[in-house]
Amino acid sequence: MVRLITHNILACHAKGCTTNNFPLQFQDVSIELREAEFNADFLRGFLPRLEWAALVSAARQLGDTSLPEQQPEMLDDEFLQKLHHVLLEIHVEEGAMVCPNCKHVYPISNGIPNMLLAEHEIG
C-alpha cells in the first residue's frame, strides 16, 4: 500500500540526489478509501515524527483538504479523526511518485511502490 503514513517517510535515493528529494510528488494516481482502525495513542505519539507540510501537500494532491496548513497545538478528537483518515484510510493503488529534484519516477502498482533503482542509478 502507499498510504500517506508511508509517503511521509519515502525519499528519492537515486545516485547523487540528496537535496530537495522529499516529498515525492504523486502523478496519475488512482486511490481507494478503506476504513482503518482508529488508534489515538498511535496518532499522538506519531505526530511529532511527521513532516507536517509534506503531509498537507500530499493530501491536497490526493484531493483531501481537511488538514490545516499549520499543525494545531490542540489535539482534540475531531483533529485526530481527520489525521487518522488522511494517514491511514487513503490508499494510492496505481500511479507513480516523482522526485521533485531529479524527476526520478517510482511506479506504484497494485498498491506497492517500486523503490528499486537500476544499477547505474544506485549511489
Partner 1 sequence: MPNVKATTVSAEDPQAYEDAHVHAVYDSIAPHFSSTRYKPWPIIAAFLSSLAPGSVGVDLGTGNGKYLPLGPPGSPGCVWTVGLDRSRNLLEIARTAGGGLREVVWGDVLDRPWRLGAFDYAISIATIHHLATHARRKAAVKRLLESISPTHGRALVYVWAIEQDELSKRSIPVESDAAPTEAAKQASRGQDVFVPWVLAQPAEPKPKARRKGKATDREASQRSQEEVKATDDAAPTEIEPPKVFERYYHMFAKGELNELVTEAASEMGLSVGVPGSAQGPGACGMEIVQDGWERSNYYVELRRWKQ
> Which positions lie near partner 1, rule CB under 8 A?
1-3, 5-6, 9-13, 22, 34, 36-37, 39, 41-49, 51, 91, 110-117, 119, 122
Q: How far is the CB of 113 from partner 1 (least distance, A)?
A: 6
What crossing angle do the helices spanning 52-61 and 77-88 adopt, rounded to 10°?
Answer: 60
Q: How far is the CB of 80 from partner 1 (least distance, A)?
A: 12
Decide whether 37 or 69 has the Cβ nearer to partner 1.
37
Tell me which H or E stretch contains 30.
strand 25-33
Task: Look up residue 73 and give its DSSP letter.
Answer: S
Decide whether 65 or 73 has the Cβ nearer to partner 1.
73
Q: d(Cα 105, Cα 107) in Å, to the nearest integer?
A: 6
